Amino acid sequence: MKIHVLFVCLGNICRSPMAEAIFRHLVREKGLTEHFVIDSAGLGGWHVGSPPHEGTRNILKEKQIDPSGLIARKIRKEDLNTFDYILVMDRSNLRGVRELARKLERHRAEVRLLMEFAPEKGHSEVPDPYYDGRFSEVYELVEAGCRGFLNYLMNKHFSQETGNEN
């Protein structure tokens, strides 16, 4: 069984591709790559087909995380039945995904704010660095959220010692 995870932000060029790359990196470090399908998307389609923002690419490279292969796309209602978890960056994203979900009779995705998994950071949302350029601060929040989410999944789906599925 694979766990399907989708990260969502407004345009899919700053926060969600950063989360996708970080989470992919953390999963690889744990040796669990074959157990996951990881992607990102935006609520809006303004940047479809574009690579991540230069600030996102730069901070990922600075942290030795490969940003290659990340291409912006818009979320589709089908994603709500393809993915097990949809993690959004802020309440506006949460409203947007829930609005999309209302168009479906039912869906399988559990939709949550990423920062629910890093309460120690004292932030309920990940601010958009597109407007203020604070990519380092955003990286710290996203990385903490991704670590917390992976720990949550490890406890829920895998044996900690072996990485085997429960």
Which residue in the list 14, 24, 128, 146 is annotated as catalytic?
A: 128
Cβ partners under 8 Å of residue 75, min gap 6 = 6, 8, 41, 42, 43, 97, 100
**83, 16 Cβ separation under 8 angstroms:** no
> Of 115, 82, 75, 119, which Cα lies nearest the Cα of 98?
75
Is 91 assigned a catalytic role?
A: no
Distance (Å, whole) CA 100 – CA 84: 16
Is 14 assigned a catalytic role?
A: no
Is 9 assigned a catalytic role?
A: yes
Which residue in the list 15, 24, 57, 73 is annotated as catalytic?
A: 15
Query: Two tokens at 135?
Result: 């990519």
Where in the sequence numbering do the catalytic residues fall?
9, 15, 128
